[in-house]
Copies of this chain bind each other. A is one copy, B any other.
Amino acid sequence: MTAEIICVGTELLLGHILNKNAQYLAQQLASLGIPHYYQTVVGDNVERLKQVIKIASDRSNVLIFTGGLGPTPDDLTTETLADFFGVPLVEKPEILADIAQKYAVRGRVMTPSNRKQALIPEGAEVLPNSSGTAPGIIWSPISNLHILTFPGVPSEMQRMWQETAVPYLKNLGFGQEIIYSRTLKFWGIAESTLAEKVSAFLNLPNPTVAPYASRGEVKLRVSAKANSQAEAEQLIAPIEQQLQAIAGLNYYGQDEDSLASVVGQLLQREDATLSVAESCTGGGLGQMMTDIAGSSRYFMGGVISYDNQVKVSLLGVNLQALQQEGAVSRTVAAQMAEGVRSLLGTTWGLSITGIAGPDGGTSTKPVGLVYIGLAQSNEKVQVFEHRYGQDRSRSLIRHLSACTALDLLRRKLLEKDH
């Protein structure tokens, strides 16, 4: 038994809306343990929709449609399904009554075009829509094929899915086995390097392990098929342990964790506080830290020293160093970190100065060159140099700089454990 998602709507083909329905349904199918191998988007066109129904009904057993249930002439899903399977449409008085009543509550009068929404294929059941006017259908037109239709409005579709579709699918025998996933997160290692180190795990049947990467972060998704979440977690635990051991300090957290949340936990563990001095990131590092609710317990604030004058007047950066070595230099990064740490009286001070581009690079100091300073009370300031490459965008260089700064602090905070 496999399912397939078919989203109907010309607005999807024009790129006017993002297909969030497909993602929601995909997650739902996974959690019910229903395999699904294809998603299709097709426009409001009878012939092309029929072709898609033909292909999907030949290869899958549960077809889930979204869109095309409204009252306008370009809403074609129900009548095209009926036509494809050669079944007449019948008017359901209870649907008409429901639509009329909903219009009355909103102080509106039902229009003749709504009548169309009361027509469903003979033999199909109504899939009620408690929050909108367009109901769906649940229909098994031929043996071993189940069709469910939903409107395209995400909130209506989701409610109908939970209220009616899930019990129906469980009744068919689905949802006994679930797919449960955990995502392990890594920083400071390339996807290909990590994939090679854990290559032995990438062909496991259950749980499966799959690598992903985006904007500098690498993830391994560990997915288990089991009869319950507890059983899935038992399957995942030993694999997770081994993957963490292989990755060492490059592993930083899982699922909802971010570098900022992990750094926050480590700071709290030792009752430490943090302040930041930002040049090229312009506030992005502070924003990441304060994304975490409750971060006021360890994050005090900082200085956005975008202009060099601010580096001198507020952070105490040496004017001579600034002139001789430049704002993007080891010395300035060190003085910024120590400057903000002592100004705000925190345990740690973290600074970033770099060339985010697209302009401002030179042959010795190219776009993508970033210095990160890390100051700690009673310790010598450490400075780290990173070169993100001139081919990367301003936005990505700023993002990588802020994440790398958090990662350096994370590793430093973990040093004591090793």
Contacts and interface: CB of A to CB of B under 8 A. Distances in A.
A113 interface: yes
A389 interface: yes
B299 A302 contact: no
A394 interface: yes
Nearest to A221: B16
Interface stretch (A83-91, A261-269, A288-296, A410-418): A288-296
A339 interface: no
A42 interface: yes
Protomer copies: 2
A395 B26 contact: no
B73 A202 contact: yes
A192 B114 contact: yes
A24 interface: yes
Interface residues of A, number: 118
Given A155-B396, A301-B305, A307-B301, A39 B37 contact: no
A214 interface: yes
Contact of A191 (B71, B278, B398): B71
A112 to B, nearest CB: 8
A356 B289 CA distance: 14
Given A18-B19, A111-B196, A301-B304, 10 more contacts: A14-B223, A70-B213, A71-B195, A72-B202, A106-B387, A276-B304, A293-B358, A296-B306, A299-B307, A313-B344
Interface stretch (A5-13, A118-126, A167-175, A228-236): A5-13
Nearest to A72: B195
Contact of A55 (B18, B55, B306): B55
Kindly name the residue among A42, A221, A284, A305 whose own CB sees the greatest number of chain B CB atoms within 10 A.
A284
Interface string A376-418: 0000000000011101111110100000000000000000000
B305 A192 contact: no
Interface of A is mostly: mixed
A22 B41 contact: yes
A286 B293 contact: no
A30 B14 contact: yes
What are the 5 closest A-B residue pairs judged by CB atoms, nearest first? A282-B290, A283-B286, A283-B283, A15-B26, A15-B27
A210 B310 contact: no
B22 A19 contact: yes
A92 interface: no
Nearest to A340: B304
A306 B286 contact: yes
Given A131-B391, A278-B283, A287-B284, A37 B26 contact: no
Contact of A290 (B14, B43, B192, B306): B306
Nearest to A309: B300
A26 to B, nearest CB: 3
A130 interface: yes
B30 A23 contact: no
A285 interface: yes
